[in-house]
Structure 1
Amino acid sequence: MSAHDAPRHPLWPLPLLITLLFVVAAHAAYLLSIHGGHVPACIPYLDGCVSISRAVRYGWGNHLFQLLVIPCAVLHALVWWLAMRWLRGGRAMLVLGVLSAIALAVYATFLGIEGEAYRFLRRYGVVVYFGFGYLAQLALMRRASLTKALAAGVVASMSWISIAMLGLGVANVVVGLVVDEPSAKDRWENVFEWWLGLLMVGWYAVLASGWRRRHVAIALQTDA
């Protein structure tokens, strides 16, 4: 069978699955932690009573989070590899995306384990996942815009999400400088973290929409 005759499989479900897995993992794990009495109940996007890490690090919630997020990290790496093939270039984008995926896997793996070394790995995982993932997203947007690989409206939606994430980062720094009360500072940081996580994975849903509109697919060829 030639490459032209091989069946083509749409790629848009993969980035959409990243969004769904992460959203379900974080919120379902939080509900399990509330049920187990490990964390307080609130609307974290408004009240900031708990961070994502604390919400998902206990009991069955932790097991569920790891069960869903580690495969989600594999999907991250796969999507960035496919994105490079689709755009016919962008090695820096691929490297950043794969490092972000590895950091997410490290974060999920060591979440809930005590010890200074494990705390360092969790902190490393969060910083690298968000930082390198954000840079990879910017690189994809730039290349897709230059090559017209995505519709202008899709790129615009991605850009607004990126601006919002940048704004949250700036706001987090400002709060750290102007808010003195530790509990208030923690609450604001938690609010920013939940929104940042939602925007980060929501960006992949927009990518899924763009791939679906452009009918981006891959042909899987098997040799007889």
Structure 2
Amino acid sequence: MPGPDAPSLPVWPLPLLIALLFVVAAHAAYLLSIQAGHVPACVPYVDGCVSISRAARHGVGNHLFRLLVIPCAVLHALVWLLAHRWLRGGRWMSVLGVGSAIALAVYATFLGTEGEAYRFLRRYGVVVYFGFGYLAQLALMRRASRTQALSARVIAAMSWVSIAMLMMGIGNVVAGLVLADPLAKDRWENVFEWWLGLLMVGWHAVLAAGWRQKGLVVNVQAHDPR
């Protein structure tokens, strides 16, 4: 066990790094794919001309995306394990969070590969990532609110992000039901996907602010040469 004089490290940079890595990975991969002529240029948050998956499926953009997102998935798992220890409980929260991280790693690993089995892994990898990740976030907010582990302002910010994510999900379902034109349906699904991805990692940025506000740290056992 670390002693009283063991050095400590702040943990808030970890969830912030999740947000930064994912945002850089998705947008840099898209720009590289545009330059290589693999995808059209647009503002995907408005025009929906391309999905995140298609934007990062080809060439150098694909390699960059996987290079950044796989470590991002590892950070996801680490953050949820730290959250479990921080809140002194929340088994299902950590199980769902780590499951979401594994799904993200699977999705990134097989993005750009061909074959029905790989297509299945990619499709359900992203679904499980968003689904499990969202439920884990709700569980953390509930437990942190009950134990007053985070300030009311941080919980409120997290709640607004979660509500926006829910609205994106509902909008995606409604668009799939009411739009008859397949191209229009694809465009709206792409728009919702970009916003949902941004909100998902944006929630982690709010968690980073909350952890920084609370001064949350982990102690590191110093090496004893004796």
TM-score normalized with structure 2 length: 0.98
The aligned residue for residue 106 of structure 2 is 106
Distance 1:135 1:163 in 2: 12
* CA deviation map 1:147-203 (0-9, x unaligned): 000010000000000000001111111111111000000000000000000000000
Secondary structure class of the residue paired with 2:45: coil
1:174-185 alignment runs, 5 A limit: 174-185=174-185
Distance 1:4 1:121 in 2: 46
Distance 2:32 2:132 in 1: 30
The aligned residue for residue 8 of structure 2 is 8
The aligned residue for residue 72 of structure 2 is 72
- What one-letter code is carried by the residue in structure 1 that aligns with 2:97? G
Distance 2:2 2:64 in 1: 42
1:52-63 alignment runs, 5 A limit: 52-63=52-63
1:190 corresponds to 2:190 = yes
Contact 2:22 2:201 in 1 (8 A): yes
Contact 2:2 2:220 in 1 (8 A): no
Distance 1:60 1:149 in 2: 42
Distance 1:31 1:24 in 2: 10
Alpha-carbon distance, 1:82 to partner: 0.5
Contact 2:6 2:220 in 1 (8 A): yes
- What one-letter code is carried by the residue in structure 1 that aligns with 2:14? L
Secondary structure class of the residue paired with 2:9: strand
Secondary structure class of the residue paired with 2:22: helix
Distance 1:167 1:102 in 2: 25
* CA deviation map 1:20-70 (0-9, x unaligned): 000000000000000000000000000000000000010000000000000
Alpha-carbon distance, 1:223 to partner: 5.3
- What one-letter code is carried by the residue in structure 1 that aligns with 2:127? V
1:220 corresponds to 2:220 = yes
Secondary structure class of the residue paired with 2:218: strand
How many residues are treated as equivalent by the alignment? 224
Alpha-carbon distance, 1:91 to partner: 1.0
1:200 corresponds to 2:200 = yes
Alpha-carbon distance, 1:220 to partner: 1.0
* Moved beyond 4 Å, runs of 4+: none
Secondary structure class of the residue paired with 2:114: coil
Alpha-carbon distance, 1:2 to partner: 4.7
1:1-224 alignment runs, 5 A limit: 2-222=2-222, 224=224
Distance 1:88 1:178 in 2: 45
Structure 2 stretches lacking a partner, 5+ long: none
Secondary structure class of the residue paired with 1:57: coil
Secondary structure class of the residue paired with 1:188: helix
Secondary structure class of the residue paired with 1:44: coil
- Identical pairs, percent: 78
Q: How large is the Cα RMSD of the aligned pairs?
A: 0.9
Contact 2:94 2:136 in 1 (8 A): yes
Alpha-carbon distance, 1:222 to partner: 3.6
